[in-house]
Amino acid sequence: MEFAEVVKARHSYRGFLPKPVDEKTLKDIFELASWAPSNCNVQPWHVHVLSGEALERMREKMKAAALEGGEGNPDFPWKGKFSGDYKERQICSALGLWEYQGVTRQDKEKRAWSWMRNFEFFDAPHVAFVFLTDEFPELVRLAGDVGMFTQTLMLAMEDKGIGSCPQTSISCFPDMVREELGVAENFKLLMGISFGYVDEADGANGFRSDRDPLEKTTTFHSV
């Protein structure tokens, strides 16, 4: 696809086929993503990709942890709440997704099911956990670098016909993930990305969030 087509085609898919992506394609995609920019070329991202039995173990542990309740102990906890335009976009996105999932705002049981789908990785055959080290003082700046990497990664996936869903929800249990993967404590879990071939029959994949008009988010200065 042309670049603009790839950018506009990429969105968060929430239903995947069990068919795995072959090893060569996986390595090609992640190698291409490594060319993403970063501050002083420090390349602060550390990625663990799970497939097969390793993925299934993580899926079961993640579901069990989520079912126990609570918000976990994320390395980067939420502080405060969205307000104004940000809150409106959040609500519109949630309601839009629920509509395609057959969930109503009043149905607490179905809403809980929708939330639990995150911890099932939407049945994806692969999940990538993205860490950054805490040895640098400017973690916020480094998180921006990781954001550029993950966007590049998801665009590379889209170009290969592979869907993805970036998820901060599955960073709620970092200690469990570190223990399972043998990752040192100084690596902080920023996010996960579920990915694979898209299940076109899953209604959730029909949902596309919209974007505000350019003039609402961007100001051009010439004088």
Of 92, 73, 70, the C-alpha closest to 82 is 92
Query: What's the pLDDT score for residue 77?
Result: 86
Q: Which residues contact 72 (CB under 8 A, 6 or more apart)?
A: 65, 172, 173, 174
What's the rounded Cα separation, in Å, for the pair 193 and 185?
21
Query: What's the pLDDT score for residue 140?
Result: 78
Query: What's the pLDDT score for residue 191?
Result: 96
Residue 118, SS3? helix
Q: What are the boundaries of each domain within the chain?
A: 12-207
CATH of 12-207, one of 1.10.10.10, 3.40.50.10540, 3.40.50.2300, 3.40.109.10: 3.40.109.10
Neighbours of 191 (CB within 10 A): 19
Of 171, 120, 97, the C-alpha closest to 18 is 120
Q: What is the pLDDT of residues 91-145, one digit of tens each?
A: 999 999 999 999 998 999 999 999 999 999 999 999 999 999 888 767 778 889 9
Query: What's the pLDDT score for residue 138?
Result: 74
Mean pLDDT of 77-85: 87
Of 216, 213, 222, 203, the C-alpha closest to 102 is 203
Residue that the structure tokens 């705002």 belong to: 105
Query: What's the pLDDT score for residue 79?
Result: 80
What's the rounded Cα separation, in Å, for the pair 191 and 65?
17
Local confidence band at 10 (pLDDT 50, 70, 90 cut-offs):
very high
Q: What is the pLDDT of residues 157-215, one digit of tens each?
A: 999 999 999 999 999 999 999 999 999 999 999 999 999 999 999 999 999 999 999 99
Residue that the structure tokens 């008009």 belong to: 213
The amino acid sitting at 27 is K
- 43: tokens are 């390349």
